Chain A
Amino acid sequence: MTSSVKTLRDAINEALHQEMERDPTVIVMGEEVSGGAGCAGEDDAYGGVFGVTKGLMPKFGRGRVIDTPITESAIVGAAAGAANTGLRPVAELMFVDFVGVCYDQIFNQAAKFRYMFGGKSKTPMVIRGTCGAGLRAGAQHSAMMHPVLTHVPGLKVVMPSNAYDAKGLMLTAIRDDDPVMFLEHKLLYETSCEVPDEMYTIPFGQANFLREGDDVTIVALSAMVHRAVAVADKLAKEGIFCDVIDPRTTSPLDKEAILESVEVTGRLVVVDEANERHSFASDLAGIVAEEAFSSLRAPIRKVTAPHAPVPFAPSLEDAYMPSEARIEQAVRSILGA
């Protein structure tokens, strides 16, 4: 059993390489997933604009790694139709914000087929999308989108926070028979950790505890997990110990792990980069208030983005995203209450 330090990008790339080798029905499709189609320059010119699908086309050919025109509805629709008829497509939305363009094919079609057709069909497709702010990409390339997607029955939503989780969750996603939205935060592609070389899976609906403590429960998603951990480590020096929980998947959600933690700590802070209204933070706060009310010793705190589009100017974008300072302030505000 060997492993090495890999970036989140390379971990996903490895998962795709290995699974495409193992299962000939897996195909990749999207804009610039290889790049250079029909052009005079290099083949595999991009391998995905963030490099996640690099090397797949030279290895598996254009029959299995398909560069598409810029047509999200056609791409996602084709993935859904192919999934129902024998393939396991991994389609890409270059930026998950583009889900607005193809939302019908996800929400009305793929997510609902199994139910509407009485259980006879299955849609084993994965849609990868880059999410999140922090790269000054502006309002239309920086959204989170998981609140809208988690809301949809029939869809699963996965948000890895690190390279190790990313590889295991991607393998689970491809092998899952339901449609999966796999959201990769732009700020996480360069982060790295030890990742096994062999294939392994991480089940959906199983949260990961990055830190443990009896004083406060901090639940965080995606890139915010790292900020939550940094805050927890700082507070630990003062003798304040936090459970830091990364749900890894918002649908299905490991509700039990979170409720068990709150039953001990009585204090919950949810860190979610989505806009405040109808965020995952709001959803989780509602669940915990309803199901662990008697355990709560303080109000639930949500640390989210404000009710505004993502600004372009660096000063504003940095203020938009939940910062370590805001997370710390939220935790302190409910201590000893």
Chain B
Amino acid sequence: MSYSADFLLSAYRTMQTIRMFEERCTLEFEAGNIPGFVHVSDGQEAVAVGVCSQLSDADIIGSTHRGHGHCIAKGCDVIGMMKEIMGKADGLCKGKGGSMHIADIDKGMLGANAIVGGGPPLVNGAALSAKTLGTGTVAVSFNGDGSSNQGTVMEALNLASVLKLPHIFIFENNGYGEGTSADYAVAGDIAGRAAAFNMPAEKIDGLDFFAVYEAMQRAIKHAQAGKGPYAIEASVVRFGGHFIGDPMRYRGKDEIKKARQNQDCLKIFRARVTKEKLLSKKAMDQVDIEVAELIESAVAQALASPQPTIDQLMVDVYCSY
């Protein structure tokens, strides 16, 4: 499998954008600039980008409560996202949704979902549209290890298989469903569950961008050939807590410190592309500078934007009433 330098640099840029965006969200939240609850995904960038870099605007994704990374990887406007997370009137969702409901259907982003397991049934619907209308597109749901226990996820796996829907189920197993380990809460095996519903199910290293990319290639090929759903269980690490502000008492001593050293998918990517002379350090350093500027600008603009005015409260409850 060969990758162009342009593509790899673009993938790196997107992963770095997610990383810096999420880290900045944590800072802004701690500074009191973000209302409500925020769940950041730093550490999990390779899956978001390995998957979404192969999708067009017409392919639909559904995400979890930890959706910023998927949103950025899907091509949503970073500045609009920061504004939305801060609850501003010109945010991606006009300040009506916030972090947990961030969405842009024009970019094929059906939404972050605050209900664990809420996404896969909806993504089945997007896949049903693709199949019925003959668009040739695929639909992808991002799921956590925590959601793999929800009845809705089992139902969605079953229905996707029964109706042979082009639905690719991505399970990001970061080892924790909130503050409970996946070892405790998940009986058996996530990929095994998907396989039991009569679909191919792979288990991969989610920290390896290339492994993710190649598994997703196989999944897309399968789905587009009309063979039905595909599942990929990717093991990842989340550096942060379940939510920003989570004291993370449930994590081991030095666990996160070691993870940042040895299980950082960005470091792993950089090391590989440098070793294999696929990208130059100089090019990636330049990307780092540009992304930092973008995030800085996004925050400055978001802080300067106003919240929605009260007359917006009753707008868009219905199309018409």
Contacts and interface: CB of A to CB of B under 8 A. Distances in A.
Interface string A42-69: 0000000000000000000001101011
A192 interface: no
A84 B96 contact: no
Given A109-B115, A156-B318, A116 B125 contact: no
B163 interface: yes
A108 B111 CA distance: 13
A114 interface: yes
Given A82-B129, A117-B101, A105 B156 contact: no
B115 A78 contact: no
A86 B105 CA distance: 11
Interface size class, chain A: 35 or more
Contacts of B128: 27, 78, 81-82, 87
A79 B163 CA distance: 13
Given A27-B132, A73-B151, A109-B118, A116 B97 contact: yes
Contact of A114 (B92, B113, B319): B319
B120 A77 contact: yes
A64 B163 CA distance: 12
A176 to B, nearest CB: 8
B125 A85 contact: yes
Interface in B175-205: none
Contacts of A113: 103, 111
Given A71-B158, A77-B120, A120 B93 contact: yes
A115 B319 CA distance: 10
A81 B62 contact: yes
Interface in A95-152: 104-105, 108-109, 112-122
A275 B136 CA distance: 48
Given A116-B97, A116-B101, A117-B93, A74 B155 contact: yes
B103 A116 contact: yes
A327 to B, nearest CB: 31
Given A87-B133, A105-B121, A154-B318, A77 B156 contact: yes
A156 B130 CA distance: 27
Given A109-B115, A121-B105, A87 B129 contact: yes
B136 to A, nearest CB: 13
B309 interface: no
Contacts of B151: 73
B118 A108 contact: yes
A177 interface: yes
A115 B122 contact: no
Interface in B51-110: 60, 62, 91-97, 101, 103-106, 110
B320 interface: yes
B152 A66 contact: no
Interface of B: 60, 62, 91-97, 101, 103-106, 110-111, 113-115, 118, 120-130, 132-133, 139, 151-152, 155-156, 158-159, 162-163, 315-321
26 contacts: A25-B133, A68-B159, A68-B162, A74-B155, A74-B158, A78-B128, A78-B159, A81-B129, A82-B129, A84-B105, A85-B130, A87-B133, A105-B121, A105-B122, A109-B122, A114-B318, A116-B93, A116-B103, A117-B104, A118-B92, A120-B106, A121-B105, A154-B318, A178-B319, A178-B320, A178-B321
Given A75-B159, A86-B133, A176-B320, 7 more contacts: A68-B163, A85-B110, A116-B93, A116-B103, A117-B97, A119-B94, A178-B321
Interface of A: 25, 27, 63-64, 66, 68-69, 71, 73-87, 89, 104-105, 108-109, 112-122, 153-154, 156, 176-178, 205, 252
